[in-house]
């Protein structure tokens, strides 16, 4: 490949990098806002269930809201990580072959993962995610089971919600990225 062709390829790779980084930034903002949306929806559901003498059956709205928002959070978080992997494992090596001394180009994409406290931070994030998307909806179900009307359709719904929460919990743990870089 001629030097001019290498320059064109390098510029195209930089444009691709800028585009995927922009997508990553947008997904990070969206993902982080999902935490606030989840907390707001939980607060609204709990408030409605407590008004007018209390209606614990309204707490059955909390698990589906948590699962829906939790799944969306998880999907975005995975895409954010996938973009980082793509930059580290694909774009960086291709650009490095074009660099005069074959230097890694996007050092930050790897450097921030080399922090010795990364695993402890990831574990804390896993705990926070599980607290928000699994423990809180299970707590709502426990409150319903102990205080709500024991109508068969509502109990069946609560059991189905428990299964949905379990599926989401397993997925959150599987995607936690607790391994070393």
Count the Cβ atoms, other than its own, within 10 Å of residue 112: 11
pLDDT of residue 180: 60
pLDDT tens profile 23-42: 999 999 999 999 999 999 99
Distance CA 181, CA 174 (A): 16
Residue 22 falls inside a structural domain = yes
Q: pTM here? A: 0.89
Number of domains the chain contains: 1
Residue 125 falls inside a structural domain = yes
**Helix (H), strand (E) counts: the chain:** 7, 0
Residue 180 falls inside a structural domain = no
Domain range for residue 42? 3-175
| Contact status, residue 122 vs residue 176, Cβ threshold 8 Å | yes
């Amino acid at each position: 490949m001629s030097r001019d062709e290498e320059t064109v390829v390098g510029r195209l790779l930089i444009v691709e990098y800028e585009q995927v980084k922009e997508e990553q930034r947008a997904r990070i903002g969206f993902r982080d806002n999902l935490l606030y949306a989840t907390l707001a929806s939980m607060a609204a559901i709990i408030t409605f269930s407590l008004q007018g003498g209390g209606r614990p059956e309204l707490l059955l709205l909390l698990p589906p809201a948590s699962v829906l928002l939790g799944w969306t959070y998880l999907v975005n978080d995975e895409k954010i990580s996938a973009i980082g992997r793509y930059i580290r494992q694909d774009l960086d090596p291709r650009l490095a072959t074009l660099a005069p001394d074959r230097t890694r180009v996007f050092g930050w994409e790897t450097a921030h993962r080399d922090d010795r406290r990364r695993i402890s931070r990831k574990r804390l994030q896993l705990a926070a995610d599980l607290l928000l998307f699994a423990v809180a909806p299970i707590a709502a179900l426990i409150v319903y089971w102990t205080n709500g009307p024991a109508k068969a359709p509502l109990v069946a719904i609560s059991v189905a919600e428990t299964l949905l929460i379990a599926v989401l919990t397993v997925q959150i743990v599987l995607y936690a990225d607790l391994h070393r870089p």
